[in-house]
């Protein structure tokens, strides 16, 4: 098992279910996610990433952009050097 991949998948599944309502309230924002829940919204992916690193360190988290097109940005959170 890959804990990072599992976290990204869990978050993405939860995000897809919430997306219709999020589009009405947070379109264009970046959602920091952990354990299938949205922790906070940010204006930029970099802000979300920095907050995730500060909150969770090396513990897996993911970031999703609130847009109508389905884009899985979860891997972004571990694609950057630590």
Read off the pLDDT of residues 17-58 as tens digits, 9 standing for 90 and up: 999 999 999 999 999 999 999 999 999 999 999 999 999 998
Q: Is the predicted pLDDT of residue 80 greater than 80, yes or no?
A: no
pLDDT of residue 82: 35
What per-residue string of b and e applies to 45-74 under the rule 16 or more CB within 10 Å gives b?
A: bebbbebbeeeeeeebbbbbbbeeeeebbb
Confidence of residue 77 (pLDDT cuts 50, 70, 90): very low
Q: Which residue has the higher pLDDT, 78 or 33?
A: 33
pLDDT of residue 79: 40
Nearest partner of 74 among 24, 23, 26, 14, judged by Cα: 14
Nearest partner of 62 among 50, 51, 76, judged by Cα: 76
Q: Is the predicted pLDDT of residue 81 greater than 60, yes or no?
A: no
């Amino acid at each position: 098992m890959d804990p990072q991949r599992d976290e990204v998948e869990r978050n993405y599944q939860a995000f897809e279910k919430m997306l219709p309502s999020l589009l009405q309230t947070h379109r264009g924002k970046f959602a920091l996610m952990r354990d299938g829940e949205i922790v906070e919204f940010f204006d930029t992916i970099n802000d979300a990433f920095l907050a995730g690193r500060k909150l969770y360190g090396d513990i897996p988290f993911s970031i999703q952009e609130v847009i109508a097109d389905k884009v899985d940005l979860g891997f972004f959170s571990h694609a950057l050097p630590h």
